[in-house]
Structure 1
Amino acid sequence: MENDGRLKTGQLYRFTAELIRQSFWGEYNGNLQQLSSYYSVWVRASNAPITGIEIPIKKSLIKGWKEGMTATFTVKIAEDSEHFQYRFATDATLITTPTEEKHTENTTQEIDTQAILHGDYSSVAGTWRNELGHEIVFNKNGLVKGGQIYKSGIGSDGQIGFSVSTGPTGYGMSVYPIGITIKWIDSDLSKNRIIAGQTAPNSSEQVFYKID
């Protein structure tokens, strides 16, 4: 909407912004999910009449979002005076995340299920990483990092399941080709994905995407 450079009382403004780290984010590693119910977030607006704005916003609106993500905000000006302006975000929509940028390449490669079942892992070879920083590394012969596969099979939903040995213990791993849903958590269906662990993951941050 047209304006003279000052946000007006009672109006709603829609703009795109980048979340910027603040000093008190340090102990949370930039993860907004763990902060209080309402908190102020500095954002850098790319198409607003200002270069920066501090916005009180509900935790529930941006649960799990992190520094560096790009989002669109609807900001309402609730009170305005010569020396004070109160504003808050009524909604926010995530556009991109740093991890999405990292695993843009090599994610559309078709996974060769039959080759994998016969011991050729070329179609999943490379490094896979989740948002927690954990990595799984494959070469054409199997796992390079993360243990040794001793059993594999196809699940009822089309995913490829592995039993992995790490010495005296082990864990399960599943490869989800493009388009196959991981039923209990959100993930990007346009990309190949891996989940792994002794228990089922409970967060999208635990999903592995190929980064090289």
Structure 2
Amino acid sequence: MMRFPRRCRGSMPPRYLALNADVAAQGGVDAARHYHDYGRAELRAVLPAGQGLNHPASRALDPAERVHWQDVLREAVAPLADLIADHPRAAWLQTGFTLAGYLRQCPDVAVAVDTPLEAAFHFLEFGLEEGRLGRPETWDAGFVLARHGVATDSDSDTATTVLARVLGQGVSPLEVVLDEIQMWELAGLHGPELARISDHEYYHAICHSDGPDAGPAGL
């Protein structure tokens, strides 16, 4: 049966200071306190790139449930959003993860889930252990300004600094998108699915722009 024990905030991995040399250089810094006060808002690295979380005790599912995790979610009484919010690893959603970024970086997950939101549960239960952190790698200045009202500088900003400012406005990591491709991913339009609908819709639009009798010659 799906277990949701008391939310596990988790202990600060000892590598935090090693991954953030400028913090370590201050000397005598309590890693957990620094992360709580500053590092979380700055989206400081907690795990090395590509390294997964090794903490089986914070899983929500037992071994048998993990094999058929999507069936478990479908049969659950609680809404999926509540299962995500109550997951023992829910705090990891605040470490730089975005649902759109995760879908973009993990096409195998994107095509396997029934809904984009299901991928957020996959991240907490599986992706973290596999070193798939879902932090977006791209951003578009015009898109971010139009969607989130955040002005950016392409010369000095990075995807991480832009993301930190957007999250700082209170936008949920499940809703953040930093460019158009991420927007389509969050809408469930990715890879094969996007290709399936895009060509015929483009063709339909072109035909109608030239009149109902237009065909290939109109292209």
Normalised by the length of structure 1, the TM-score is 0.23
The answer to which structure has the higher helix fraction is 2
